[in-house]
Amino acid sequence: MRWIGAAVVVGLAFGAAMFGVQEYESRHADIEAPLPPGGDRVAAATDALVADHLYVAPELQRLITPEEQARVATAAAAADPAAFIALSGKGDAGYYLDADLAQYLIDGVGEAGSYLVWDGESVSGTERTTGGDLSTYVSPDMAGKTEAALMRYIDAVDAATLEPLDDSDYWGGPRGGFLAALLMVSGGYLALTLVVGVVRVLSGASYFLPGRWRDFVTGSKA
Amino acid sequence: MVARTALAGVLGSLALLAASPAVATAALPAADTTPVPVLVDSTVDQVAAALKQDPVIVEQVMGNGDAAGAHDRLRDVIDGSDAPIYVVIGSTPRGLGESDPANDLAVRLRSRLGAGIFIIALTHGPPRHAAWGVPEATQYSNAVYDAYKKMLPLAYPDVDWETYDSENRPRGLSDVAYAQIAATVAAGGAPWGIDDTALEEIATASWAPLPEELPRSYDAATPGGRWVVGTVVGLSVLLVGLRLVLWATASRKARQRSTAEATALTPTRLDLADLVARAERTTTKLADELAGASSSPYADAAVGYRTAAEAVLRDLEDLSLPEDKARYGTQLRDAVGALVLANAGRHELGRAGKGGGTERYVPCFFDPLHGRAFHTVSAPGRAAVDVPACRRCSETVSSGGTPRALIFPPVRRRQLRPYYEESTVWARTGYGALDDELWRAVVADRAGVDR
Ligand SMILES: [Zn+2]
């Protein structure tokens, strides 16, 4: 009877663990999954970045002359790590946040380096790095003349190096996750026994529940 | 945002100068040959000129990912309609009022293009639709609003738009979808409206809703996260489940024991005056019997018991009331002791008569008032300790229970416990169950107290 119960519990525990992991994955989307289609502006910006590291939306052309654009594009292409700049405008162009566009661009261009997205009016752009981490902080500050701000950014990227990503996650991988969980569960179980025990004692019963863990080993009936 | 508004303000004041009718007529012929500039770089006249060539302008910046597709869909709807319909979706042209540029543009376009229906959504301000020179123009406006309201639940059947949940609330429908409704209603003519099939077709189109935020890599599932969740859930279920199995399958004995432990903790009913009277009577009998006894080791022991009993009884001449809990408790313990001492003394004398054939007087460990112990059992909770027990108590133990122990009424409730867990001489000796010469222990204890 005891062993049948134990087997059922082990099965339940496995099922619960599987279910928990599934729930966790459904709440934390898989980044390996392909992005939803990005639309015309994403495509235009991606093509421009692949061709010459710079995209300027039609409605932002007044911010930077063709000559300035040529200089910025050359500098961005020469930078190491590579710099990619999208002056993308502000509206509803098939993506939500500038960070979303950066993600589309990283996905579409597929080259390691620093990606800057600027809507053309905020004081600061949005920077995302792929293929590693930049060794120094690169400010996406866009104050002042557009060409000067972009050159400032490109110089900062060029001065930095691309460090390999520290590939362990917040928990330190499977091992760290398992050990952290072990700590959590033991703490939680002790707290639970304490609460149950105190409630039992207050209601006049013994602190410990009937039945001992050693019963599993000894098979004792008493 | 502040910078944008300031910029628009400067452009607006500059553009006011350019927007005079004279400039407008002059600019028109040029628009036929030069490429259409983006709206943000255009004056109202340039926009009007462009609309004469193509009544629908959709710029990428407001096209929700498919400006060309939106343009074609709008053209399909408005081509062949009775009233002229113009659609402008894109960046905000120069020279418009800051607070409601779309409405401003509609009014100004009307003065250049004449009566018609204008549907305008710009990067600044709310989208607008306006009708001039058509029957029941106000009704048109209301019909578009009604259709838009009906569209939200069609586009998001699972969302409750009444309860505000900013975290999970979808962003809603794009201006492209709004313009498609306004244009469809406009093209249908008066009486204004849109049939449900057309509405649902727009509402459920892939281009209608605004895109949501993309999943972020820092929020993604990781191997460590999977292990944390899996281990916490699995191990918790395992631990709690196994513990419950242990509880459920704990042998009946163990469960009885724990219920017995819970129920046995009530004070034993004792009557101090009666106990003292019985102890005095027995001690008197012992004294009488001793007077006629011949000398023997048993008689010597009996004398010891009598001495001890009398010593204890001396403190019991003045009985206290139950309200005086501490003194009353001490007297109860002593009264039981005096009775046991007297009984033991009489038993010793009896042994003399039988040549020492019987055992010494051993009371039941759990409660000496149970009488003599003829059995030995393991003390509950302390399997290694054997204690003497009366027949009933030994039966209780062998069936897995806990015998009802002698429990004195406590001074405070939390002190409720069997007498043998106290720190009296009675507890140490088990009223003689654990000590062969109770009387010596009692006399020694009294001497210690007196000193
Ligand atoms: Zn007994």
Q: Is residue B66 part of a domain?
A: yes
In a domain, B126, yes or no: yes
Find the A209 Cα to ligand 1 centroid distance in Å.
27
B430 in contact with chain A, both atoms CB, cutoff 8 A = no
Q: In the predicted model, what is the mean pLDDT of residues A136-155?
A: 93
* Domain match, B81 and B170 both: yes
Task: Report if residue B208 sits inside a domain.
Answer: no
Angstrom distance (rounded) from CA B336 to CA B86: 110
B167 touches chain A (CB under 8 A): no
Measured on CA atoms in the order A40, A41, A44, A47, is the torsion positive or negative?
A: negative
Shortest alpha-carbon distance between residue B244 and chain A (Å):
9
Å from CA of B338 to ligand 1 middle: 18
DSSP state of A125: -
Fold (topology level) of A40-163:
Diaminopimelate Epimerase; Chain A, domain 1 (3.10.310)
Same domain, B356 and B438: yes
Q: Give strand pairing partners of B166.
A: none
**pLDDT (tens digit per residue) in A191-217:** 999 999 888 888 767 778 877 787 777
Residue that is last in its domain, among B184, B203, B222: B203
Rounded to the nearest angstrom, the minimum Cα separation between B136 and chain A is 32
B89 & B175 share domain? yes
Torsion of CA B174, B176, B179, B181, to 10 degrees: -70
**What's the CATH number where B174 sits?**
3.10.310
How far apart are the C-alpha atoms of A138 and B322, rounded to whole Å? 85
The answer to whether residues B405 and B418 touch, using CB atoms and an 8 Å cutoff, is yes
Q: Is residue B262 part of a domain?
A: no
Same domain, B23 and B128: no
- B50 and B124 belong to one structural domain: yes
**B159 and B307 assigned to the same domain:** no
Residues B83 and B6 in one domain: no
Which residues share a beta bridge with A141?
Answer: A124
Nearest to A103 among B38, B214, B244 (CB): B214
Q: How far apart are CA B192 and CA B177, in angstroms?
A: 18
Contact A21 B38 (CB under 8 A): no
- On the question of pLDDT at A10 being above 90, the answer is yes
Q: For residue A186, what pLDDT is reported? A: 94
Burial B398-429 (b: 16+ CB within 10 A, else e): eebbbbbbbbbbeeeeeeeebbbebebbbbeb
pLDDT in tens, chain B (451 residues): 333 333 333 333 333 333 333 333 333 333 344 455 789 889 999 999 999 999 999 999 999 999 999 999 999 999 988 889 999 999 999 889 889 999 999 999 999 999 999 999 999 999 999 999 888 888 999 999 999 888 888 888 887 767 766 667 788 899 999 999 999 999 988 788 898 899 999 999 999 999 988 877 666 778 888 899 999 999 999 999 998 888 887 766 555 555 555 555 778 888 899 999 999 999 999 999 988 888 888 889 999 999 999 999 998 988 888 888 888 999 999 999 999 999 999 998 888 776 656 788 999 999 999 999 989 888 766 656 789 999 988 888 887 777 888 999 887 766 678 898 888 999 999 999 988 889 999 999 888 765 4
Do B147 and B289 have their domain in common? no
Number of domains in chain B: 3
Same domain, B58 and B174: yes
Query: Which residues constitute the domain of residue B22?
Result: 1-30
DSSP string, A157-218: HHHS-EEPP----TT-HHHHHHHHHHHHHHHHHHHHHHHHHHHHHHTTS-SSPSS-THHHHH
From the list B111, B104, B148, B147, the residue with the least C-alpha distance to B132 is: B111
In a domain, B12, yes or no: yes
Mutate to test the interface with A, among B61, B206, B398 (most CBs of A within 10 A): B61
Q: In B, which residues are within 8 Å of A199 by CB distance?
A: none
Same-domain check for residues B283 and B382? yes
- Nearest residue in A to B233, CA atom: A17
Do B289 and B388 sit in the same domain of this protein? yes
Structure token digits, residue B1: 């945002």
Taking CA–CA distances from A217, the nearest residue in chain B reads: B246
pLDDT of residue B221: 77
Q: How far away, in angstroms, is B378 Cα from ligand 1 center?
A: 13
- Contact A30/B220, CB-based, under 8 Å? yes
Q: Are residues B18 and B82 in the same domain?
A: no
DSSP string, B321-347: PTTSHHHHHHHHHHHHHHHHHHHHHHH
Which of chain A's residues have a Cβ under 8 Å away from the Cβ of B241? Answer: 8-9, 12-13
User: Distance between CA A120 and CA A45 in Å, rounded?
Assistant: 14
How high is the pLDDT of residue B380? 67
Domain ranges of chain A: 40-163, 168-222
B100 token code pair: 């409601």
B121 φ/ψ angles, rounded to the nearest 5 degrees? -135, 120
Over residues A129-149, the mean pLDDT reads 90
